[in-house]
C-alpha cells in the first residue's frame, strides 16, 4: 500500500493502480484514503475488488491473487472464501457386486453360468445390468471445452435374456449382448485404436431389489408403401497390422515391409452372395522406409486380385502414397479369393511399408457362414423395404445403429420396412458367432477420485507397484518438509483413473479427464501433479519391450500425411491443459515426472528428494541463478 498523497480527489477513498507484472501476474498499489472534506469520523471500511466476468487465463482470479507473492500474508486476509460448485453432476455408481471382462473385437457375447464365479449374490438375473465404456471402444476425445465437463464413464447396454423365467441362471440360460472392441469397423470407419487392444465391459448384480435390466426389444416394421428397396450393402475386407514405429515416437505405426529390388505379399479372403453387377473398389496406403529411402528411389506397386492387375502405380522419393483401383464385381469368385501386392524398386536398399489395405464389394443382405455380417445402410426419405435372402431360422439380425440399445429385426417373408432418412447399422450372426465371456469380480468397486469431496493441493499418479514409494512422498510433503511448504496430497492409482474415467481402458486421456474433474470439482483445485513411473511411445506393447508404467502423451508423427521426426514429441503438459478449451497450451497445474522403472530406482530418487527438502543447505549461493 502506498502512502496517501496530498492531492486526493474528494470521494476517491480507494483506488487500485496497476504498476507492473511479475511472471504471469499483474500487481498494483492499493491506495486507501479513509477521509473526506467533511467533519466526520470513519469507523469502518469495506473494500471489494471486482475482477469482472471476462474470460482470463486463470479460472479463478481471486484464488490466483492469493498465491504467495508480493504482500502474500496481507493479501490472504483480503480473499473471500470461494465455494466450489460442481461443473457437472457427479456420476452415480449403482451399488452391488461388480464384475469386469475384456472385449477385444466386435461381436455378440454371452454370459452364462460358467462365465461367473461359483458363488454369486442370489439376485434374479432379470435384474442384472451390463455396462460399456461410454465411447464403446473408441479413444477418448482429446479436446476439452474448458467448461469443466468431462465425459461420462459408463453407459448401460441392452441384452437379450434366454431361460430366465425361473429367476435362476443355469444350464443353457444366458444373457446375450453386442459389444464393440477397440479396432475394426466403427460406424463405417476402419480404425486401429492407438492406445489399447482391449476395452472392458461391466456386469452389475445390484443390491437394489427394484433394479431392472435393459432387455433388447423387437424392432417393429413400419407400415406404408415402400419408396425404396435396399437389398445389399458394402462388404469390406480390411487389412492393417501395426508392426513398427519408424520414428520411435508418436502415434504412427506401419505394417509389412517390402524390400527392393522386388518383393510381394499375398492375402486371402472369402466372398459369398456377391452382387455381381456391382463394382469392387480397392485402396492401399504405403510409407517409404524413413531412414533407408532416398529422394532418388523409384517405387512401382501393383495391386492384383485373382492374378488380374487392377492398378499399377509409380512413386518416387520419400513421400507416402495411395494406390487405388476398381473393377467389375465379376472378377471375384464365390469362395476363396486372393489379393497380391507386387513391389519393384531401382535399389536393393529401397523399402516401403504397407499401412493399410481396404477392399469393398456389393453383397446381398443374406446370412454369412464365415463371420459376422456388418452392414451400413443409407436409408432414403420415406419407407425403406429391406429385402433379405436365403434366411434360416437360426440366423439373427440386430439393428445396432444405437450400439447401447440394439433391437432385433425379424423379417416377414424376407422383408422388413423402416422409415428414413438416416444411417442404419445392421448386424447378422448365427449361433456359431456367439462368444462366451469370463468375468472377474472387482472388489469394492466405487468411485474414489470422481467425487467432489476430495481435497488436495498435490496429486501423485502412480501404478500400484509404487504404492509404498507414493505413500512416502505423501508423508514427506504433508508432515516432514518445512511447515510453510506443507500441503495436502492425494495418491491416485492408475487403475482407479482408468476405471473411473475411461471405463477401464488404458487411454492416456483418462489422466487428463481425471485432472480436469479435480480442477473444477474438488474442494480445492490441485496445483501440483507428480507422475511416478517411466513411459515411452509403445502404448500397446507391440515391440514387447514397452516401458510404460504411467503413459506420456505422444503427438502425431506425420506432416501432411508424411513421416516427420520434427512433428512428433512426447509431453506431460497435455494432461494439464484444462481450462482454456480447444487449442489451449497453458498448463493449469505444475506437472513433473519421476521416470523410474522399478521400486529400487524410485527409492533412490526419493531419498535424494527427501534429503534436499528436509536438510536444506543455507548460503548466499541460493541468490544466484545459473
Residue 586: the pLDDT is 85
Phi, psi of 422 (to 5 degrees): 140, 180
* Lowest-confidence pick of 92-106, 428-442, 559-573: 559-573
- pLDDT for 50-90, tens place per residue? 655 544 444 444 445 444 555 656 655 655 555 555 565 56
Q: Which of 133, 151, 134, 153 is CA-nearest to residue 142?
A: 151
Question: Given pLDDT bands bounded at 50, 70 and 90, which one contains residue 3?
Answer: very low
| pLDDT over threshold 80, residue 14 | no
Phi, psi of 347 (to 5 degrees): -135, 145
| pLDDT over threshold 80, residue 26 | no
**What's the rounded mean pLDDT across residues 600-610?**
97
**What's the rounded mean pLDDT across residues 105-126?**
95
Helix or strand holding residue 609 (H, E): helix 599-614
Running DSSP on this structure, what letter comes out for residue 95? P
Q: How far, in Å, are 187, 359, 380, 418 from residue 423 at the CA level?
A: 9, 21, 9, 11
| pLDDT over threshold 90, residue 467 | yes
Separation of CA 255 from chain center: 23
Question: Given pLDDT bands bounded at 50, 70 and 90, which one contains residue 7?
Answer: very low
What's the chain's average pLDDT? 88
Residue 53: the pLDDT is 52
Whether residue 533 contacts residue 502, with contact meaning beta carbons closer than 8 Å, is answered with no
Q: What angle do CA 325, 330, 332 make, to 5 degrees?
A: 75
CA dihedral 266, 270, 276, 282 (to 10 degrees): -40
CB burial class (10 A; 0-12, 13-18, 19+) of residue 624? exposed
- pLDDT for 343-401, tens place per residue? 999 999 999 999 999 999 999 999 999 889 999 999 999 999 999 999 999 999 999 99
Q: How far, in Å, are 288, 346, 552 from residue 567 at the CA level?
A: 17, 29, 16
Cα 382 to Cα 514: distance, rounded to the nearest angstrom: 45
Q: Is the peptide bond before 609 cis (omega within 30 degrees of 0)?
A: no
Q: Provide the phi-psi class of 483: left if phi over 0, else alpha when psi is between -120 and 50, else beta.
A: alpha
- pLDDT for 468-495, tens place per residue? 999 999 999 999 999 999 999 999 999 9
| pLDDT over threshold 60, residue 46 | yes
Cα 470 to Cα 599: distance, rounded to the nearest angstrom: 10
Cα 71 to Cα 362: distance, rounded to the nearest angstrom: 75
Q: What angle do CA 391, 393, 394 make, to 5 degrees?
A: 105
Separation of CA 66 from chain center: 35
- Tally helices (H) and strands (E) across the chain: 6, 36
Sign (positive or negative) of CA dihedral 145, 150, 153, 154: negative
Whether residue 26 contacts residue 57, with contact meaning beta carbons closer than 8 Å, is answered with no
Query: Distance between the two ends of the chain, CA-based, in angstroms?
Result: 33
Q: How far, in Å, are 46, 294, 307 from residue 353 at the CA level?
A: 72, 15, 22
Residues 6+ apart with CB under 8 A from 73: none
Coil, strand or helix at 520: helix
Q: How far, in Å, are 35, 294, 518, 535, 582 from residue 492 at the CA level?
A: 54, 48, 11, 17, 26
More confident residue, 187 or 111: 111
Cα 126 to Cα 175: distance, rounded to the nearest angstrom: 9
Cα 294 to Cα 316: distance, rounded to the nearest angstrom: 9
Annotate 240-270 with DSSP letters as a single string: ----B-TTSSSS--B--EEESSEEEEEEEEE
Query: Which grid cell is 99?
Result: 464384475
Residues 6+ apart with CB under 8 A from 46: none
Phi, psi of 65 (to 5 degrees): -65, -25
- pLDDT for 299-338, tens place per residue? 999 999 999 999 999 998 888 999 999 999 899 999 999 9
Cα 281 to Cα 25: distance, rounded to the nearest angstrom: 59
Running DSSP on this structure, what letter comes out for residue 485? G
Separation of CA 620 from chain center: 49
Q: How far, in Å, are 257, 460, 480, 577, 617 from residue 483 at the CA level?
A: 60, 20, 8, 30, 17
Whether residue 565 contacts residue 558, with contact meaning beta carbons closer than 8 Å, is answered with no
Cα 128 to Cα 207: distance, rounded to the nearest angstrom: 10
Residues 6+ apart with CB under 8 A from 307: 338, 340
Cα 390 to Cα 393: distance, rounded to the nearest angstrom: 10
| pLDDT over threshold 80, residue 146 | no
Burial 449-479 (b: 16+ CB within 10 A, else e): bbebebebbbbbbbeeebeebbebbbebbee
Q: Which percentage of the chain shows pLDDT scores above 90? A: 71
Query: Which grid cell is 51?
Result: 475482477
Q: Which of 321, 338, 361 is CA-nearest to residue 264?
A: 338
Q: Which of 360, 124, 381 is CA-nearest to residue 232?
A: 360
257-259 and 321-328: which strand pairing? unpaired
Domains with residue ranges and CATH for the chain: 95-224+367-446 (no CATH), 232-364 (2.60.120.260), 458-623 (3.40.50.10390)
Q: Which of 334, 255, 267 is CA-nearest to residue 305?
A: 267
Question: In angstroms, what is the C-alpha Rg of the chain?
Answer: 31
Coil, strand or helix at 192: coil
Whether residue 359 contacts residue 385, with contact meaning beta carbons closer than 8 Å, is answered with no
Phi, psi of 516 (to 5 degrees): -65, -45
Whether residue 169 contacts residue 113, with contact meaning beta carbons closer than 8 Å, is answered with yes
Residue 230: the pLDDT is 98
Amino acid at each position: 500500500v502506498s502512502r496517501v498523497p496530498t492531492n486526493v480527489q474528494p470521494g476517491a477513498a480507494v483506488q487500485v493502480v496497476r504498476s507492473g507484472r511479475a511472471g504471469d501476474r499483474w500487481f498494483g498499489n492499493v491506495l486507501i484514503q479513509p477521509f473526506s472534506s467533511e467533519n466526520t469520523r470513519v469507523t469502518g471500511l469495506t473494500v471489494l475488488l471486482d475482477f469482472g466476468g471476462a474470460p482470463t487465463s486463470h479460472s479463478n482470479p481471486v484464488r490466483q491473487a492469493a498465491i504467495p507473492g508480493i504482500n502474500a500474508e496481507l493479501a490472504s486476509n483480503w480473499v473471500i472464501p470461494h465455494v466450489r460448485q460442481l461443473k457437472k453432476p457427479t456420476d452415480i455408481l449403482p451399488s452391488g457386486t461388480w464384475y469386469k471382462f475384456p472385449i477385444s473385437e466386435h461381436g455378440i457375447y454371452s454370459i452364462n453360468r460358467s462365465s461367473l464365479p461359483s458363488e454369486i449374490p442370489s439376485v434374479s438375473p432379470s435384474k442384472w445390468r451390463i455396462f460399456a465404456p461410454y465411447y464403446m471402444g473408441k479413444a477418448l476425445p482429446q479436446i476439452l471445452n474448458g467448461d469443466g465437463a468431462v465425459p461420462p464413464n459408463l453407459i448401460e447396454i441392452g441384452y437379450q435374456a434366454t431361460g430366465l423365467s425361473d429367476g435362476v441362471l443355469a444350464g443353457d440360460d444366458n444373457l446375450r449382448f453386442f459389444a464393440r472392441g477397440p479396432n475394426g469397423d466403427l460406424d463405417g470407419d476402419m480404425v486401429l485404436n492407438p492406445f489399447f487392444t482391449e476395452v472392458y465391459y461391466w456386469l452389475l448384480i445390484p443390491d437394489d431389489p427394484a433394479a431392472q435390466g435393459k432387455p433388447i426389444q423387437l424392432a417393429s416394421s413400419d407400415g406404408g408403401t415402400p419408396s425404396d428397396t435396399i437389398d445389399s450393402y458394402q462388404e469390406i475386407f480390411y487389412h492393417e497390422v501395426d508392426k513398427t514405429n519408424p520414428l520411435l515416437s508418436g502415434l504412427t505405426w506401419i505394417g509389412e515391409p517390402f524390400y527392393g529390388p522386388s518383393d510381394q505379399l499375398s492375402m486371402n479372403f472369402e466372398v459369398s452372395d456377391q452382387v455381381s453387377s456391382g463394382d469392387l473398389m480397392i485402396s492401399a496406403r504405403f510409407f517409404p522406409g524413413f531412414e533407408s529411402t532416398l529422394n532418388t528411389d523409384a517405387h512401382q506397386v501393383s495391386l492384383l486380385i485373382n492374378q488380374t492387375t487392377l492398378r499399377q502405380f509409380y512413386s518416387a522419393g520419400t513421400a507416402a502414397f495411395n494406390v487405388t483401383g476398381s473393377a467389375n464385381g465379376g472378377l471375384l469368385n464365390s469362395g476363396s479369393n486372393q489379393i497380391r501386392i507386387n513391389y519393384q524398386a531401382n535399389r536393393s536398399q529401397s523399402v516401403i511399408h504397407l499401412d493399410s489395405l481396404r477392399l469393398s464389394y456389393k453383397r446381398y443382405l443374406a446370412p454369412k457362414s464365415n463371420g459376422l455380417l456388418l452392414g451400413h445402410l443409407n436409408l432414403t426419405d420415406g419407407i425403406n423395404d429391406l429385402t433379405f435372402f436365403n434366411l434360416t431360422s437360426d440366423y439373427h439380425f440386430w439393428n445396432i445403429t444405437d450400439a447401447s440399445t440394439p433391437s432385433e429385426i425379424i423379417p416377414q417373408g424376407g422383408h422388413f420396412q423402416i422409415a428414413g432418412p438416416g444411417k442404419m447399422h445392421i448386424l447378422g450372426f448365427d449361433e456359431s458367432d456367439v462368444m462366451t465371456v469370463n468375468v472377474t469380480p472387482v472388489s469394492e468397486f466405487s468411485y474414489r477420485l470422481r467425487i467432489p469431496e476430495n481435497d488436495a493441493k498435490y496429486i501423485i499418479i502412480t501404478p500400484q507397484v509404487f504404492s509404498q514409494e507414493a505413500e512416502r512422498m505423501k508423508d514427506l510433503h504433508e508432515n516432514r518438509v518445512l511447515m510453510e511448504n506443507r500441503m495436502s496430497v492425494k495418491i491416485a492409482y492408475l487403475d482407479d483413473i482408468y476405471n473411473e474415467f475411461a471405463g477401464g481402458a488404458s487411454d492416456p486421456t483418462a489422466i487428463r479427464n481425471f485432472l480436469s474433474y479435480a480442477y473444477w470439482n474438488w474442494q480445492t483445485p490441485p496445483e501440483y501433479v507428480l507422475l511416478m513411473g517411466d513411459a515411452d511411445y509403445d502404448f500397446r506393447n507391440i515391440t514387447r519391450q514397452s516401458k510404460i508404467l504411467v503413459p506420456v502423451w505422444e503427438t502425431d508423427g506425420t506432416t501432411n500425411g508424411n513421416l516427420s521426426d520434427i512433428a512428433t514429441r512426447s509431453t506431460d503438459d497435455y494432461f494439464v491443459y484444462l481450462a482454456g478449451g480447444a487449442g489451449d497450451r497453458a498448463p493449469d497445474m505444475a506437472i513433473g515426472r519421476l521416470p523410474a522403472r522399478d521400486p529400487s530406482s524410485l527409492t533412490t530418487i526419493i531419498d535424494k528428494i527427501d534429503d534436499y527438502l528436509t536438510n536444506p543447505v543455507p548460503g548466499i549461493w541460493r541468490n544466484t541463478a545459473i
